[in-house]
Structure 1
Amino acid sequence: MIVHIMAGGPKQYIPDLEKFPKDVCWIGVDRGVMYLMEKSIPIYAAFGDFDSISQEELHKMEEKTGIIKRFKPEKDETDMELALLWAIKEGATVIRLFGSTGGRLDHTIANLQLLLRGAIDNQNIKVEIIDKQNSVAVVQAGAYTIDRMSEYKYISFFPYSTKIVGLTLEGFKYPLVRRNLPASSTLCISNELIRETGTFSFDEGILMVIRSCD
């Protein structure tokens, strides 16, 4: 099952949703529910304290949403995390997060942290953040194939652990062979594929992979 979760981040960072598959399960988080309603996207479930939604909007949400999970503002998890955990429990294999960047930096970092739910806690689940200019995921040590995409010219790799051991990049403009990267490294920013398909592999650590366009 593919689940798309729409949070309530600034609208200008949200990509064109028409480009994504229609046969997915959409979940709204707080004001993200309103964003989905504006696009006439069927909402399977809604999560949040909904403190940023008016009473009139709340009534509309109740009419348009199948499942509503309402929480108090004071809680241990963010609304996005609660929605993500629910999607994992429901059997999602791919989870894409929208409306989760821009605005408050702490909210963006919190959502980036949630990528680890797939990379570490549930390795059979792909969790990805997508906004208007970027696609972000994190992966554990292993070997991966990556395809060239016209939409995302640049590919950057950042250590998301204390170090990366043995990073090799093949098919890239700037290749690497078994390079070790400390957590502070910016060596692998703004790389590009020179073939239709490239590969990257590493022996230890957690790597953040960001695909970007200008």
Structure 2
Amino acid sequence: MIVVAGGEAPVAAALDGLPADAFVVAADSGVDGAHGIGLRVGLAIGDFDSASEGAADRVLAEGGRVERYPAKKDATDLELALDAALARTPSRIVVLGGAGGRFDHWLAVAFLLASPLYEGVAIQARWAEATATVVREPVTLTGHPGDILTLLPVHGPALGVSAEGVEWPLHDEDLAPGTTRGVSNVLTGTAARVGVRAGTVLAIQP
């Protein structure tokens, strides 16, 4: 499943490897971002204070649904979109776009993606500048030799962290919140294998 966030518009290259028939949920101006890369939105959700005029109408015209929320609410449009996506019980959610250059937004999105609320689904975010993968089960991350890979424990300690295919491997190591132990590792080939025995790691490929 694809969730298109508002803010920074996604690039077409972010669709690489994603199924063409994936259901798309768009948050607010994420509707414009989705349409900009040729995606049909199945569900648009949010207060639509930043979407273009007619964006929601286009979703309806193409057979999708629109859920409107007041501007004054207790959750961001992206959180509402993720909750709506989770209700469809996907095995994987890929978030496109987001942050929009604001550091507080980037942090909020990063912590949201790794929230325990979504621990039953694989989640990855793809921005123009970086990819962030939530690691709770072993995953294989692809790239190029020399690419940077940073591993950050979030929402508590990450226990038994392993990383193979990198210049400085990790073997069943515990990473405490706030540690820089996993910052700026480097891929030695085209793939790295990352796992964690308990807890959550955010694997960032800038």
Q: 1:198 to 1:116 in 2, by over 3 A?
A: closer
Aligned to 1:45: 43
2:148: which partner in 1? 154
Instruction: Report 1:88-99 matches (<5 A).
Output: 88-99=86-97
Does residue 121 (structure 1) correspond to residue 117 (structure 2)? The answer is yes
Q: What is the SS of the residue equivalent to 2:185? A: coil
Match of 1:184 in 2: 178
CA contact (8 A) 1:169 1:199 kept: yes
Match of 2:103 in 1: 105
Identity %: 25
Q: State the distance in 2 between where 1:109 and 1:62 align.
A: 32
What is the distance in 2 between the residues matched to 1:67 and 1:152?
43
AA matched with 1:128: Q
> Could you say if the C-alpha distance between residues 14 and 40 of structure 1 is closer, same or farther in structure 2, counting changes exceeding 3 Å?
closer
Aligned residue runs from structure 1 range 127-138, under 5 A: 127-138=123-134
C-alpha RMSD over aligned residues = 2.7
Tell me the equivalent position of 1:16: 13
**Which moved further from structure 2: 13-22 or 183-192?**
13-22
1:34, 1:65 → 2: CA distance? 16
Quote the Cα distance in structure 2 between the aligned partners of 1:30 and 1:152.
37
- What letter corresponds to residue 44 of structure 1 in structure 2? G
1:72-87 to 2 correspondences below 5 Å: 72-87=70-85
Shift of 1:177: 3.4
How many corresponding residue pairs? 205
Aligned mates of 1:152, 1:61 — CA distance in 2: 42
Unaligned runs of 5+ in 1: none
Decide whether aligned partners of structure 1 residues 203 and 93 sit closer, same or farther in structure 2, where only a CA change above 3 A counts.
closer
Quote the offset at 1:178 in angstroms. Answer: 3.8
Matched to 2:13, the amino acid is D
- Per-residue CA deviation, residues 29-56 of structure 1 (Å, 9 max, x unaligned), is 1111112223332111101111123544
- The answer as to whether partners of 1:15 and 1:130 remain within 8 angstroms in 2 is no
* Per-residue CA distance 1:135-180 (angstroms, 9 max, x = gap): 212233x6x2525433992221112144333433333211233433
Deviation at 1:63, TM superposition (A): 2.4
2 CA distance for matches of 1:6 and 1:145?
Answer: 23
Native 8 Å contact 1:34 1:61 kept in 2: no
Aligned partners of 1:135 and 1:210 also within 8 Å: yes
TM-score normalised by L of structure 2: 0.83
Identify unmatched segments of 5+ residues in structure 2. Answer: none
Counterpart selection for 1:169 from 163, 166, 177:
163
